[in-house]
């Protein structure tokens, strides 16, 4: 394991509870011995066993990854918050953003998150360990872990990953496909965001939903359209449609997103630093991003 005070990002392959605990023990030992801060963001069903295991340990924060990482685009702000809370000290963070049964779209965005950690935390005093259930996850997920983590811990041994790259892996950039037939569509034009809001209201009327979902959808649609106007080129379009349990809002424009961390870091008071995408991420259960010659952003909002 790397020494404290140097940024590291490791994948831990485990196949049973023993390997899981052993991997966490080795990673956390320097922090627990020295009193450095520790945070674990893991699926909720693992929290109580870990709480019992860590009983008495000081400066440990436990988080339910099913909540804080439901949308993988919201995980980095959590790590940044923890780092700021313990500024000047080395944070040891365990994050498990991918687990068996997670949907493919969320896994792809979690892979994007794992790649962007290397950019976002470069130069910080953050140690990151990401557990992967090697006995139950698909081999393609483990291959992605090899591409996004400089170091892999397997069977108790740490090794450099031969396929690691700073880039977002191609499997996280698979095209999203076209909106389904029947999706409501509107063109996004300069000075006419009212057309976007009207399209959302019409769709809400036709599909009989209102209240908070309508409010959130209007905000998300307005922010996506405004982002396309500020940073993209025409043609700019926006669609809205429903899937089981969700309403989907998608914006598309020509041009690429210049900052891959836009919307994934706290923008502070700077409205030009990812504020619109920040709001979209925090109102959505999942946000899918594809950016190249064209940029497509697809936000999924839960239907209560």
What is the full per-residue pLDDT of the chain (304 aa) written as tens digits? Answer: 444 445 899 999 999 999 999 999 999 999 988 889 999 999 999 999 999 998 877 779 999 999 999 999 999 999 999 999 999 999 999 999 999 999 999 999 999 999 999 999 998 989 999 999 999 999 999 999 999 999 999 999 999 999 999 999 999 999 998 999 989 999 999 877 888 888 888 888 888 787 889 999 999 999 999 999 999 999 999 999 999 999 999 999 999 998 999 999 888 755 556 689 999 999 999 999 999 899 999 999 998 7
Task: Say what the pTM is.
Answer: 0.93
Distance CA(142)–CA(133), nearest Å, equals: 9
pLDDT of 169 reads: 97
pLDDT of 191 reads: 79
- Look up tokens 């291959």; give the residue: 143
Distance set, CA 23 to CA 32, 51, 55, 96, 290 (Å): 14, 16, 18, 13, 34
Q: Which residues contact 152 (CB under 8 A, 6 or more apart)?
A: 10, 11, 13, 145, 146, 158, 159, 160, 161
pLDDT of 273 reads: 60
Q: Is the peptide bond before 235 cis (omega within 30 degrees of 0)?
A: yes
Q: Which of 224, 200, 238, 206 is nearest to 283 (CA)?
A: 224
pLDDT of 198 reads: 87
Domains of the chain: 8-172 (3.40.50.300), 178-302 (3.30.565.10)
In the chain, the N- to C-terminal Cα span, in Å, equals 44
Q: Which residues contact 163 (CB under 8 A, 6 or more apart)?
A: 143, 146, 147
Provide the pairing of β-strand 246-254 with 60-64.
unpaired
Distance CA(183)–CA(152), nearest Å, equals: 43
* Sheet-wide strand order for 184-187: 184-187, 233-243, 246-254, 294-302, 286-291
157's enclosing H/E stretch is strand 157-160
């Amino acid at each position: 394991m790397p020494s404290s005070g140097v940024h590291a990002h490791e994948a831990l392959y485990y196949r049973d509870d023993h390997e899981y605990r052993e991997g966490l023990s080795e990673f956390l030992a320097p922090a627990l011995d020295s009193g450095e801060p520790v945070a674990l963001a893991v699926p909720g069903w693992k929290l109580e066993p870990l709480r019992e295991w860590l009983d008495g340990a000081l400066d440990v924060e436990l988080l339910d990854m099913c909540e804080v990482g439901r949308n993988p685009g919201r995980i980095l702000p959590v790590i940044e918050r923890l780092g700021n809370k313990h500024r000047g000290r080395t944070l040891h963070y365990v994050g498990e953003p991918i687990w068996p049964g997670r949907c493919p779209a969320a896994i792809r965005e979690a892979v994007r998150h794992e790649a962007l950690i290397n950019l976002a935390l470069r130069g910080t005093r953050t140690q990151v360990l990401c557990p992967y259930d090697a006995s139950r996850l698909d081999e393609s997920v483990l291959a992605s872990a090899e591409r996004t983590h400089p170091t892999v811990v397997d069977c108790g041994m740490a090794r450099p990953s031969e396929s690691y790259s700073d880039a977002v892996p191609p499997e996280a950039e698979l095209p999203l496909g076209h909106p389904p037939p029947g999706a409501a569509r509107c063109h996004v034009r300069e000075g006419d965001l009212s057309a976007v809001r009207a399209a959302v209201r019409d769709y809400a009327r036709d599909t009989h939903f209102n209240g908070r979902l309508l409010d959130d959808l209007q905000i998300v649609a307005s922010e996506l359209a405004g982002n396309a106007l500020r940073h993209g080129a025409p043609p700019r379009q926006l669609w809205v449609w429903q899937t089981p349990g969700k309403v989907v809002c998608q914006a598309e424009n020509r041009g690429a997103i210049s900052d891959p961390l836009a919307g994934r870091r706290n923008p502070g008071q700077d409205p030009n630093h990812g504020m619109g995408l920040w709001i979209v991420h925090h109102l959505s259960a999942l946000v899918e991003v594809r950016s190249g010659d064209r940029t497509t952003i697809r936000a999924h909002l839960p239907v209560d």
